[in-house]
Amino acid sequence: MGQDVRELLWGDAARPPRGRPAGLSREQIVAEAIAIADAEGLQKVSMKRVAERLDCGVMSLYRHVDGKEQLVALMHDTAIGPAPDLSADRGWREAVAEWARATRAYFLAHPWALPLVTEDRPVGPNEVSWLDQGLGALESTRLSGAERLAAVMVVNGFVRGGVQPEVQESYAGAQWFDFMADPRARERFPNTSALFADGSMSYETPELSFEFGLQVVLDGLERRIGDAA
Amino acid sequence: MGQDVRELLWGDAARPPRGRPAGLSREQIVAEAIAIADAEGLQKVSMKRVAERLDCGVMSLYRHVDGKEQLVALMHDTAIGPAPDLSADRGWREAVAEWARATRAYFLAHPWALPLVTEDRPVGPNEVSWLDQGLGALESTRLSGAERLAAVMVVNGFVRGGVQPEVQESYAGAQWFDFMADPRARERFPNTSALFADGSMSYETPELSFEFGLQVVLDGLERRIGDAA
DNA sequence: ACCTGAACACCGTTCAAGT
DNA sequence: ACCTGAACACCGTTCAAGT
């Protein structure tokens, strides 16, 4: 796998130099797969569907990608793209906030990526650039390396969790709360029931929820950073 | 789906009352599926494998579960079990911390559940009980309903993000960092490279990282709760 | 009536036959 | 040598045939 990952990272170096006019490229394959996932979801992405779109045999794809697993890894790394440059002089708090908002924007644009990032998978260069920029945003602080890493992971986890209800149809469509129709459920889950009754769970203001959570995380970091300084 | 979810929640009420000695039950099927996932991972759980284990025809399973999707939902809800009771008199901070640690313990015990919870899926009664207890842990505070919900989601997101490297083999086995072997990578990702060089990314002290992140989140909540009071 | 085997419509990938 | 169709070993689920 080590070799695979390196190839995926720095790719293209040794591409098959000769043969057909090369009607097919890895970039095309990945782009088509992303288009399918954006339109119909990740589980509709099959080698066959991608090949159909590109008017080629299924096995032709294997000339350019190792297999489905690598294709999916490439989809994510291509779709997320390189991280925004946060090195501008604006203080760690605003830099981290921008990082978090950009991450949220990615998942909103490509909801299929959300379950994907929780799986064990090879990491690509663009994803590493996000980690690197996240760490860079905390460079001006006195946090240790391990603390900076943990801090980036807290922010990352928060973003993923906060974005999930926004991209899930069953939540937006309120099927998630169907169980609350049952009076026994309302009795058994009084706290949830209260939230449901006062409209707190309607999730009509996702951005406000996101910003609330973000400020909580940033406040927590601020205190740690203050202690370290 | 509403009906399905309600049935999944309160189940068992109207079970087929007559017929064979009922050599098969939903509980058995779910238990066997969990056993397979624990031992070999979620993708090894197939209707066929479960049926083999139970010495029955594949289609016999469909008498007790709607299909694979419902089976997986039942696996999660069964494996996570009811939430611990946090109503004891110990203050919101320790209650939330306990909630977070118990959630982490679940994912460590059943790593296959981590990618699963990020998917759009019907929610079961045990999972709702965790939400309910999480909200209950914040009952003594002056946070609004929407704020409490957002707070639980911040903690939940943090736990999932923090636990992910702990349960991922490629991270524990260090393949995750293979790309750092390339000098071009070290140049391109200086912050990540520095962490790698000083050993911060070895992830040999996962519990310390978890506790650091948890305290960050709790500190952030404390400030919000103080503001609200 | 209950149960379940055969058949179907999909997967991703191996392998050997094509050019 | 490059490319790719046929074949394989799986999926989950429908449907109709069994008891």
**pTM of the shown model:** 0.91
Tokens of B10: 């309160």
| pLDDT class of A21 with cuts at 50, 70, 90 | very low
Which of A81-85, B9-13, B53-57, B83-87: highest mean pLDDT? A81-85
Q: Which segment of B80-94, B137-151, B167-181 scores lowest on mean pLDDT? A: B167-181
The sign one gets for the Cα dihedral A161, B70, A171, B153 is negative
Candidates B147, B157, B219; nearest CB to A220: B219
Cβ atoms of A103 and A130 closer than 8 Å: yes
Compute and round to an integer the Cα radius of gyration of chain B. 21
Q: Per-residue pLDDT for B3 more than 70?
A: no
| pLDDT class of A22 with cuts at 50, 70, 90 | low
Compute and round to an integer the Cα radius of gyration of chain A. 21
Within 7 Å of a protein beta carbon, the nucleotides of strand C are 1-6, 10-15
For residue range B215-228, what is the model confidence (pLDDT) as tens digits?
999 999 999 999 87
For residue range A40-74, what is the model confidence (pLDDT) as tens digits?
999 999 999 999 999 999 999 999 999 999 999 99
Candidates A154, A179, A195; nearest CB to B216: A154
| pLDDT class of A11 with cuts at 50, 70, 90 | low
Strands (E), A39-118: none
CA distance A190 to A183: 11
CA distance B96 to B143: 14
Measured between CA atoms, the residue of chain A closest to residue B116 is: A115
For nucleotide D3, give the residue with the nearest CA to its C1'.
A60
List the domains of chain A with CATH numbers: 5-79 (1.10.10.60), 81-168+199-228 (1.10.357.10)
Q: Give the CA-to-C1' distance from A46 to C9 in angstroms.
A: 14
Average pLDDT over residues A82-97: 91
